[in-house]
Each structure stands twice: as C-alpha cells, then as structure tokens.
Amino acid sequence: MEAIVKEDIQILKRVQANLESCILGKTDEIKLLLTAMLAGGHVLLEDVPGTGKTVLIKSLAKSIRGQFRRIQCNPDLLPTDITGVSIYHPKDEVFVFRPGPVMTHILLADEINRATTKTQSALLEAMEEGHITVDGETHTLPKPFLLLATQNPIDFEGTYMLPEAQLDRFMMKFSLGYPDEATETKMIISQSVSHPLEHLQPVADVEHIGEIQQRAKQVHLDDAVAGYLVAVIRKTREHAAIFLGASPRATLALVQASKAYALIQERDYVIPDDIKFLAPFVLGHRIILQAEARMDGATVQSVLQSVFQQVRVPVRLEK
C-alpha cells in the first residue's frame, strides 16, 4: 500500500494547499475537514458568523470538481425542499422526480438549527444510508457525499436544537474561530483586490477522492490500538462526570476518522496519538455531562482529558 499512499498524499496535499490559500491559519481545521471527507463522515461547524465556514466548503467543492449546493435553513423550509419532489405530468400521465439540493457531492446546510425538527430529520436517511426515499422510491446520492451543517452558538432565538440522535450522525463537530492578529492582517492584504476563491483551480476529481476513501479503509489498525480506542469509548460510559457516553456509532466513527487522519499524516497505520487528537472532535458532541459536573465547572474537553489519563496507552505496536 506504500506506493499507493504516496500518490494519494500528493493529491491531498494539493487540496489542502488550495484550502489554506482561502482560509488562512486554520491548518488543523482543514485537516479535520479532509479527514471527515475521506472517512465518509459529515461535519457540524458551530461558529459565529463571518469566520469563513462557507468559503471553506466552497473551496473544497471547487478543489475536487465536486457539485456544490447550499440550503439556507429557516422555519419555513420543508423536507421536500431538501430531498426533492415528484411532479405529475398530465400529458404523459406519469410522476417525474425533481431532485432537491441534497442530490450533490457537497451540501451546505446553513444554520441547520433554524429548520424545524421535521425538516432536519429529512437529512437523516441521506447522512446514514447515502440515499433518500421520496414517494416510496429510493434515489441514490452522488458519491462521495459530504454534508456540512453550520449553526450559530450565540443566537438561540427561533432555533430548534439538534437532538442527540441527529448529533450522533455527525462524525465531527468543530469550529474555525477567529484568526490571530498576524493572520487577520495577512488576510486583509491577500483579499484587498480579489478573493482567492475566485482564482482557485481544481486539483483533483471526485473520482480520485472516492478512490482514496476506499484506500483509507485499508489503513492498518493494530489490535493493541483498537483495544485502546475501545477502552477510551467504554470509559466515557463509566466516568462519574458523564451522563451519556459515546455510542457504538461513535466507536466506528473514531475508527474511520483515525484511519483517514493517519493517511493524511502520510502513514498507512494508526497510532494512539491519532485517536487522542481526533477524540474531542469525534466524541465531544456525543457526550452529555452530569448536571453536578457542569455546576462544578467541568467541560467535555476536561472530562475527556481525564478519560485518557485513565486508559493505558499501548507501548508496542505491530504494523
């Protein structure tokens, strides 16, 4: 697999360089996005407006020549506005399916928590199964399919919080945050005439990404590392400060993400540090703390640190 990895790495580096030219100073976040894409997962971006979420997603779609669609969520949005609808043609006396924006490679659901719970649920089948069902007929989504949903953590008026069952279907949750002073100054200079997105050139194809997704699944996961990962997951279900621990779906998500991240790091095997780096983003939104722990000032991040301190790291790995 070593020769294949080298070819894949060159593609991924070009995509990463493209994204970094549009979103400055966010290398880790870009790697997380690429990790989710290679692992076949979906991402929830929780951040204040204006931090570059939409630009990041558009840059990714343009870099891999992928179809891009955007949904601006609001309380008036209907499930059929996402999935599509069957329209009756009187002349031919048949129903013709008119696909909705979900039939794309990369879908941005902007401010997803402003859509009603019924509309939010229209995305569940697409996220989990890779297809949608309209009027009893199943329609397969393009591959690869990546959903990136955003929500504003500040403005809660007129919002519908995502239930735990839906949060569990997002492989990762993270935020971009504000740039530092030097990066923001560089951003002003780089965008004084035009935005880098306007001149961005594709550096890969969706077919390439699909092939790399399949090879990412072949990244080696040693039995000792797998045992370490499972021990971490199970400890979240036993920790005194945690009310709801990580689900078995979270276990599989962390495995897939770790393999994809190892490939991005130019390795064909997973190490414990991969799991440590990804765990806050893969497990953080799936864990609910006890009320007493929150009152004592505990956070999900601090509790996860405690979890890792209680799990022994394997010291000898066999590739």
In this predicted model, what pLDDT tens digit does every residue of 236-292 receive, in sequence order?
Answer: 999 999 999 999 999 999 999 999 999 999 998 999 999 999 999 999 999 999 999
pLDDT-based confidence at 146, cuts 50/70/90?
very high
126 and 10 together in one domain: yes
Give 313's pLDDT tier (boundaries 50, 70, 90). very high
Say if residue 153's pLDDT is above 50.
yes
* The two three-digit tokens of residue 232, written as one number: 């971490």
Is residue 249 within 8 A of residue 236, CB to CB? The reply is no
Distance CA 263, CA 224 (A): 19
pLDDT at 159: 72
Q: What is the per-residue pLDDT for 222? A: 94
In a domain, 53, yes or no: yes
Kindly indicate the confidence band of residue 211, based on its pLDDT and cuts at 50, 70 and 90.
very high
Q: Structure pTM?
A: 0.90
Residue 50 within a domain: yes
260 or 51, which is more confident?
260
Provide the pLDDT for residue 300. Answer: 92
Residue 317 has pLDDT above 90, yes or no: no
Domain boundary residue among 212, 227, 243? 212
Range of the domain at 278: 219-309
CA-nearest of 173, 125, 178 to 149 is: 173
CA 190 to centroid of chain Cα atoms: 27
Q: Cα(86)–Cα(291) distance, rounded to whole angstroms?
A: 47
State the average pLDDT for the chain.
Answer: 89
| Model pLDDT, residue 177 | 87
- When divided into structural domains, the chain yields a total of 2
Name beta bridge partners: 148: 43, 108
Model confidence at 13: pLDDT above 90: yes
Q: Decide if 317 is inside a domain.
A: no
Q: To the nearest 10°, report the CA torsion of 282, 284, 287, 291.
A: 180
Backbone angles phi, psi at 26, to 5 degrees: -125, 50
Residue 145 lies in a domain: yes
65 plus 36 within the same structural domain = yes
Do 272 and 180 belong to one domain?
Answer: no
- Quick one: 31 and 136 in the same domain? yes
From residue 139, alpha-carbon distances to 31, 102, 106, 120, 175 in Å are 31, 11, 16, 18, 32
Asked whether residue 79 falls in the same domain as residue 154, the answer is yes
pLDDT for the residue numbered 1? 55
